[in-house]
Amino acid sequence: MKICPSGNGGGTVTIKLTTIFSFGRAAQYMSMEASDPMVATMDRGTFAPALKDLPVGGDDSAFSAIERLFVMINGPTGRRNQQRQGLNSVLRDHLDPLHVIGGIPTLALGYSPMWDINLGRWTPNAIRRGYRSRLIDEFQLLEFVRRGHITGPNGARYGSVGIRVNCPIVHRFL
């Protein structure tokens, strides 16, 4: 975020938005806070350790305070690659990670700007078979998890890594 109260900037505020997918549709969010100092730094947000106290496990339920955020580690890379996605792409290509969430406002009644990071990694077998691609929907991603093509880091069980972030959706594309 950049703030120029007066002078050459003319009283402007510039906010960095990040593209994300939900139900096959693109949207953009603003990073605000994270319960992990490294994630807060990477997202240019505020370190808010108390966010880790938000309960998880009730995603998409009527009384859930949190939504799952699906983050890929080793998705395809390449600035011109239409399938690029994930943390490796952020580091190599300097572009948005193109994460997936379960729901966004107007498309899901269970939407929350509070997200629980679920970190995924394409397996070597999935990569060898050519399955690694951009994922744009929660159910599409979870089917790859169910079939064993995506695991947690280092082959661990896929799921929450215990990091919470506050990232409200501020724009939805048609």
- Tell me the per-residue pLDDT of 122-154, one tens digit each, with 9 for 90 and over: 999 999 999 999 999 999 999 999 999 999 999
CB 81 within 8 A of CB 95: no
Check: CB of residue 66 under 8 Å from CB of residue 116. Answer: yes
Residues 20-27 have a mean pLDDT of 94
Quote the strand ranges of 80-142, DSSP E: 99-101, 114-122
| pLDDT tens, position by position, 41-88 | 988 899 999 999 988 765 656 566 788 999 999 999 999 999 999 999
Domain ranges of the chain: 18-172
Q: Model-level pTM?
A: 0.89
**CA 15 to CA 82: how far, in whole Å?**
25
